Chains A and B, each alone.
Chain A
Amino acid sequence: MLEGILPDRISRALNELNPKGLREIRIRVKMPIMIDYGTNFYLGENGIVDSSEYALSCSFEEMQDIVFKACECSVYAHNEELKLGFVTLTNGQRIGICGEVITENGIIKTIKNFSSINIRIPHQVANCSLKALPYLFDDNGVFNTLIIAPPGAGKTTFLRDLCFQLSNKNIEKNLLLIDERNEIANLVNGKPSFFVGNVDVYSYASKKFGLENGIRTLCPSAVLMDELGKEEDILALNYAIGSGVKIIATAHATNLNDLFLKPSFKNLLSLRVFKRFVVLSNRNGTGTFEGVFNADKICVSERI
């Protein structure tokens, strides 16, 4: 696993693990390597170990080398991603990166002296959105939908499958996917690595760019995007909604009440822009479907 990027001894140890259910690998300089299967374990020479005493760790030099290799030996080519704190590998695995942030006149120039990384293993869970799908569209097409869940609860996986189902079942004709971190479709040489259906994909594009340019040039009937939250995203979203385009997005929130308390969403929610909310959680494991709710926070689906 991750050969060519991680040092051989770490890569060998990871090969001993069962890839099913593996969510994250956390590597910090001179600290025990942690792996996340929903529960945290340590990575030993021959796989999982319970005690940090027997866990493998990584030196500072090795850490710099890991990031260098993750950037395909060309840090400059991935600097825009690095500035946002991540690099996406060609197989769709996203590496969150921590280190010394270099700024000049308040503008982030790059990150150097990397201190820790978090490797997220993406999963394609086929049909995981089917429980929610019947409640997300009517004769006029899909509703404006917000998928909410805490971090690591499967929002991106759900969005990926929903994108595929909407395209596959012909619910929306022209779908545009704004894949800011190239982890939803993971385009490699113009071809998605995951099944997202017959859709247009903007990879590494900001939501603002994707929405403004995509609507003008690609005429989508619905736009899908991950992790809505920043002020500029909300402004761009207002433009899209004003243009009559349907929006399907994800946002970090543990439940609907939590979402309605977020200041950046206040205006959007008071205008009842989103007609449906899909709530996911980690209650019974990653991607637990809690239900589909309408703008009045009333559950319209069967609760599982």
Chain B
Amino acid sequence: MKLFVVILISLFIILIGYLYFRKTHKKIQFYNDFLSFCEEIETEIGFFQNNIKNILDKQNYKSSFQELLNNFKNKTLQKFLNEQNFLTQNEQTEIFLFFQKLGRANSETEIKEIQNYKEKLKNKINNLTNFEFKKSKLKFNLTICFSMFVFIILL
């Protein structure tokens, strides 16, 4: 019985580390897809002048970014963003404002806005992969070590 409880505690500690690691991984995927989307709309607006609805209909992403686009189409973006706990409050507001402004100006202004936003996204992805991802990986490894330590002590 004691062994079982100790294993359970150790696994729980590993799970916490894994969830943190997964959250960062999910965030990186999300922002990578967001960047691809910005590149796509830049072309669609700049060259084809396709309307937003048609552009959105063409998109197919595997990350939760696709859900974001679906919610934007269904006008439930704010609610969706509030539910995404891997995004900070600031990030949620920033994303919401980006989509709020989308399609409201002439193509020159739209493209400038998208290019600015792309730069922001690139910085964010760099920061996430070079710093946050390594940090989360380290934390995950530390939780494994810690769980082993707990396992030995308790046993």
Contact = CB atoms under 8 A, between A and B. Distances in A.
Are A and B genuine complex partners?
yes
Interface of A: 68, 71-77, 79, 109-110, 112
Interface stretch (B20-28, B48-56, B76-84, B86-94): B48-56
B103 A74 contact: yes
B106 A73 contact: no
Contact of B45 (A73, A76, A110, A112): A76
B155 interface: no
Q: Which of B102, B104, B106, B108 has the most CB of A within 10 A?
A: B106
The 8 closest A-B pairs by CB, nearest first: A74-B51, A76-B107, A110-B106, A74-B103, A79-B106, A72-B51, A77-B51, A73-B103
A76 B53 contact: no
A72 B107 contact: no
A72 B102 CA distance: 12
A61 to B, nearest CB: 12
B103 A79 contact: no
B52 A72 contact: yes
Q: Which of B45, B52, B104 has the most CB of A within 10 A?
A: B104
Nearest to A111: B106
A68 B105 contact: no
Interface of B: 45, 49-53, 102-110
Nearest to A79: B106
Contacts of A75: 103-106
Secondary structure at chain A's binding surface: helix, strand, loop or mixed? Answer: mixed
A68 B101 CA distance: 11
A68 B104 CA distance: 7
24 contacts: A72-B51, A72-B53, A73-B52, A73-B102, A73-B103, A74-B51, A74-B52, A75-B103, A75-B104, A75-B106, A76-B49, A76-B103, A76-B105, A76-B106, A76-B107, A76-B109, A76-B110, A77-B45, A77-B50, A77-B51, A79-B106, A79-B107, A109-B108, A110-B105
Contacts of B109: 76
A20 to B, nearest CB: 32
Nearest to A102: B106
A110 to B, nearest CB: 4
A112 B109 CA distance: 12
A75 B103 CA distance: 6
A75 B105 CA distance: 6
B110 to A, nearest CB: 5
A109 B107 CA distance: 10
Contacts of B102: 73
Nearest to A78: B51
A1 B33 CA distance: 39
B27 to A, nearest CB: 28
Contacts of A74: 50-53, 103
Given A72-B51, A73-B103, A76-B103, 4 more contacts: A76-B49, A76-B109, A77-B45, A79-B106
Q: Which of A71, A72, A76, A109 has the most CB of B within 10 A?
A: A76
A73 B51 contact: yes
A282 B89 CA distance: 60
Q: Which of A74, A75, A109, A112 has the most CB of B within 10 A?
A: A74
Contacts of B104: 68, 75
Nearest to A65: B104
Contacts of B107: 76, 79
Nearest to A74: B51
A68 B103 contact: yes
A255 B106 CA distance: 40
A73 B53 contact: yes
A276 to B, nearest CB: 40
B147 to A, nearest CB: 50
A79 B105 CA distance: 8
A77 B49 CA distance: 5
Given A74-B51, A76-B45, A76-B49, A109 B106 contact: yes
Nearest to B49: A77
Nearest to B55: A74
A74 B49 CA distance: 9
Contacts of A79: 106-107
A97 to B, nearest CB: 14
